[in-house]
């Protein structure tokens, strides 16, 4: 409930500040409001408030979506891979780097586990004999390169 309250309050203030900023700027452009120190500082403070709230709101939304994406694939990956391709999602390094890389790749593919496994399988086929984490890193790098 706390995150939703932050989003609602920030959106309301952002909307009000945006309307007020638009009004002030339109009055300045039309010449109905004189440009002096008071109007300059007021407009500047509206821009700072608008920018700060915009950043906070979308930072909060991104954090919330990352939590949802980070929590969703993990339960779904374990049962699906145990029956089909077990080695792809099992960490081979003791520090657990594979699970972080797996989650990153799956998140980049919007939760499409099958596509992530296909990319890693393709990397395994093209570069045999490499460590498991290398294949996940390679798939991430290939996907980032293709998106540019």
Query: What digits encode the pLDDT tens for the residues 128-148?
Result: 888 888 988 999 998 888 888
pLDDT digits (tens, 9 = 90+) for 9-26: 878 888 888 888 888 888
Averaged pLDDT for residues 16-44: 85
86 part of a folded domain: no
Predicted pLDDT at 68: 67
Higher-pLDDT residue of 65 and 36 is: 36
Sequence-ordered list of residues with C-beta below 8 angstroms from that of 113, at least 6 positions apart, any chain? 73, 76, 77, 80, 81, 106
Residue 98 has pLDDT above 80, yes or no: no
Residue 78 has pLDDT above 50, yes or no: no
3 part of a folded domain: yes
**pTM of this structure:** 0.38
43 part of a folded domain: yes
Averaged pLDDT for residues 91-96: 42
Last residue of a domain, one of 33, 49, 68: 68
Residues 5 and 54 in one domain: yes
CB 112 within 8 A of CB 73: no
30 part of a folded domain: yes
Residue 101 has pLDDT above 60, yes or no: yes
Q: Domain span at residue 38?
A: 1-68
40 part of a folded domain: yes
Residues 59 and 105 in one domain: no
CA-CA distance, 142 to 120, in Å (whole number)? 10
| 126-132 long-range Cβ contacts below 8 angstroms, 24+ apart | 131/92, 131/93, 132/87, 132/90, 132/91, 132/92, 132/93, 132/98
Six token digits for residue 60: 């909060």
Number of domains in the chain: 2
90 part of a folded domain: no
Return the ∠ at Cα 31 (arms to 25 and 35), rounded to 5°: 70
77 part of a folded domain: no
């Amino acid at each position: 409930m706390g995150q939703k309250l932050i989003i609602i309050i920030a959106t309301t203030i952002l909307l009000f500040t945006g309307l007020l900023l638009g009004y002030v700027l339109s009055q300045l452009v039309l010449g109905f409001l004189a440009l002096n120190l008071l109007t300059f500082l007021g407009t500047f403070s509206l821009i700072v408030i608008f920018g700060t709230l915009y950043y906070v709101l979308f930072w909060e939304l991104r954090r919330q979506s990352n939590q949802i994406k980070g929590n969703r694939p993990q339960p779904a990956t374990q049962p699906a891979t145990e029956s089909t391709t077990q080695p792809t999602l099992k960490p081979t390094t003791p520090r657990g780097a594979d699970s972080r890389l797996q989650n990153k790749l799956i998140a980049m593919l919007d939760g499409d586990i099958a596509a992530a496994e296909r990319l890693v399988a393709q990397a395994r086929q093209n570069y045999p004999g490499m460590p498991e984490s290398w294949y996940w890193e390679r798939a991430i790098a290939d996907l980032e390169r293709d998106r540019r």
